[in-house]
Amino acid sequence: MFEVNQLPIDLMGDPVNLVDSTWVSNPYWIDNVEFFNFSGIDVPLTTLDYEMYIYKILGNTERENVLVSYINN
């Protein structure tokens, strides 16, 4: 995890999430990727909709609320 302009960025090497003490593969991430050009380098990112979906599964309402607030503004 790192920050860019005070925005926390999670870096994942393998698209799995810890759900109820079990690592769960997420096969749908590949269909939800956008590219962001950062200093001339295209960086793949999952979409905000997919991030909200994952946060709901993980029960991370705090991060989900941050995204909802961002999208609504």
At 17-63, the pLDDT tens digits run: 778 888 888 778 888 899 999 888 898 888 888 888 888 888 888 88
- Whether pLDDT at 12 is above 70: no
Helix (H, G, I), strand (E, B) or coil at 20: coil
Q: How far apart are the first and last CA of the chain?
A: 25
CB distance 32 to 50 below 8 Å: yes
Band the pLDDT of 67: cuts 50, 70, 90.
confident
CB distance 61 to 55 below 8 Å: yes
Against a cut of 0.85, is the pTM above it? no
